[in-house]
Structure 1
């Protein structure tokens, strides 16, 4: 065909043919790239709008799973940590706060926007998460907490608009213990001047009750556990985490054990907590409970957020799902936190440090080639005046090393 055309016509025809070829090729490449991206993110075209979350609540959960390189290389195991500090409120307690509020709204205990108040007794993280979600849903928050917790927690609560009531640390049997007082404040708020219960349309006082409210367990059974299974593709040999309310451990263990019958589940418990002996020997007891032995109220440790000396409804749901317990000392937790900053640039809170110490100990026990999952509950940013305060730690008789080079501190 080209032979019958002039030279100029030949060039025009050839150029047109090349142009058509490149147009078709470019279009094919564009469509192929789009299809590849769609496959990579595993989202059908109709669902791509879900990439935009709806408010603060939409940011909660689906936290990344990270490999802790230094711990993995030192033990020969894959030590993986779920980065719960990346939740919008800075901790795993965001899941719990959202679940408790959603449950209360479904049961018509709370009505969004009517000025009701959420009450909670907490050492910090749950209160922060509740204060955040309260603002998002149109509620007020009233948080009762011991006066010896890290001061940045109460400061953050106040900046979130919560009313903060600090009380002297006392035993749970005392009516003014922080949890008991939060419950009483909610009951008082929910009554009229004559002492009668208010109607459903009036402002109510809702006691969140994280220790006994099973919406806590439910949050982790329906979100944290499934996320761990998906992120590890079911290839996990052991999970380890501490317990305060017990909701995280119970929810995750119960979900994963049903799918992975060979999975080993461990409690990581700080010194002074009675849960270690509860799991090991079915006796809720800690040696620091002896007369004259206790140095600090609640649990005899500088660690905040895990450890307790009573059995909660949430922790009770873990019965039959925990295989063993690991005791972690304050000194081990402090050294682990400094080690991870030095080796990983990872700035974690005290309960996260406890989890990582226990993970290493389990890795050594199981031997190389296993996969162990733990949680990084929160960052060190809300522990600056206690767990990350060298002067405070020295006064507690602990040693602070700015640089920790190896894991020899783990006995």
Structure 2
């Protein structure tokens, strides 16, 4: 069967990645007098924005010959990239070995095992430590001759976002966009979207959203990689400048505390029916801060990275939140 261009049929799983809608966030827009739009990346087949990076890196590896039929993909991940890589691997006949810190949510651990990943859990250690999950994944790939996806420093990641996510946002807004804000793990989404938007409109503001415990806010503001505090968010925040982030056209940064993140997660759930994870909550809180800085009448776009179900045992667990001195969802108290 030949699928016609622009039809509503997707050619397998990979054909369903991308093309997500922009959703107007009513409360945030009303509170700021701006139009705040969230790119619904939780609607990708693997449930997150990382499906795009996974597909882009695998496509590029196939094209270069780094990944051959029947091969193995190895990656160190906080979870979502591992899910995307495993699903694309399943669809294309590869094996996926996923290395993940054991501190990540049980929901992501269970999901990776469910979809057939060869999951290796390791203690959470800093990047400089040889036991860090990224470094462990690199060693496994080198020792077995597998393809190491290397999402943090593989710039096919940001190129995928430049060609798809950024292009979609420009098209969906009709070029009416004043700012884009996004948190960074690998830096691929922020860098790729920023590059795409700046190519069309150089004065669009690209703003990094950063949680406590990450060094990127200070890096943008002062040029120094310094950090303090901690966050319960997963998969975002960074203590180094990755290859994907290097050279990214970033104009400013906003620091978002966990309390502000949770406020957005809970409000969007109960008042707008949008079920989002912590990184999306940080992105929305940052978009609101940017909107207030710009003033009424502007359009700000952000990324709704993934859904809340992957963090039920943390974000929606009053006992866990109390242990971190954070507020629980009002309807659960």
How high is the TM-score relative to the length of structure 1?
A: 0.78
1:369 aligns with 2:309: no
Do 2:154 and 2:244's aligned partners in 1 also have CA atoms closer than 8 Å?
yes
2:143 maps to which residue?
A: 188
Cα distance in 1 for partners of 2:5, 2:123 equals: 51
Q: Deviations over 1:192-237 (max 9, x none)?
A: xxxxxxxxxxxxx111000000110110111111100000000001
Residue correspondence of structure 1 range 8-23 to structure 2 within 5 A: none
| TM-fit CA distance, 1:79 | 0.4
CA shift for structure 1 position 117: 1.3
How far off its partner does 1:391 sit?
1.1
Query: How far did residue 48 of structure 1 move?
Result: 5.4
Looking at structure 2, the residues matched to 54 and 261 of structure 1 have their Cα atoms a distance apart, in angstroms, of: 35
Residue in 2 that maps onto 1:90? 47
Report if the CA contact (8 A) 1:170-1:176 is conserved.
yes
- Give SS of 2:314's match: coil
8 Å CA contact 1:303–1:387 kept in 2: the answer is no
Note if contact 1:186-1:207 (Cα within 8 Å) is conserved in structure 2.
yes
Q: What is the alpha-carbon distance in structure 1 between the residues aligned to residue 250 and residue 201 of structure 2?
A: 13
Q: CA deviation at 1:403?
A: 5.4
Distance of 1:168 and 1:51 partners within structure 2: 44
1:95-114 paired onto structure 2 within 5 Å: 95-112=52-69, 114=70
- In structure 2, how many angstroms separate the alpha carbons of the residues matched to 1:120 and 1:334? 29
- 5 Å matches for 1:7-406? 47=4, 50-112=7-69, 114=70, 116-190=71-145, 205-288=146-229, 300-318=230-248, 321-402=249-330
Residue 385 of structure 1, CA deviation: 1.4
Task: Determine the C-alpha separation between the residues in 2 that align with 1:107 and 1:265.
Answer: 31
Query: What is the aligned-residue RMSD (CA, Å)?
Result: 1.4
* Distance in structure 2 (CA, Å) of the matches to 1:105 and 1:47: 25
TM-aligned CA deviation for residue 73 of structure 1: 1.2
- Structure 1: 5+ residue runs without aligned partners? 1-45, 191-204, 289-299, 405-411
Q: TM-score, with normalisation over the residues of structure 2?
A: 0.96
Q: Offset at 1:287?
A: 2.5
1:312–1:259 Cα change, 3 Å = same
State whether residues 89 and 132 of structure 1, in contact with CA within 8 Å, keep that contact through their aligned partners in structure 2: yes
The answer on whether the counterparts of 1:335 and 1:400 sit within 8 Å (CA) in structure 2 is no
Secondary structure of 1:362's counterpart equals helix
Task: Give me the whole-angstrom Cα distance separating, in 2, the residues matched to 1:182 and 1:220.
Answer: 23
Q: Distance in 2 between matches of 1:66 and 1:339?
A: 15
Task: Kindly indicate whether the alpha-carbon contact (under 8 Å) linking 2:182 and 2:207 is maintained by their aligned counterparts in 1.
Answer: yes
State the Cα distance separating 1:154 from its structure 2 match: 1.0
**Residues 206 and 252, structure 2, Cα contact 8 Å, conserved in 1:** yes
SS of the residue 2:245 aligns to: helix
Offset of residue 186 of structure 1: 0.9
Cα shift at 1:400: 1.9
Q: Which runs of 5+ in 2 are unaligned?
A: none
Shift of 1:401: 4.0
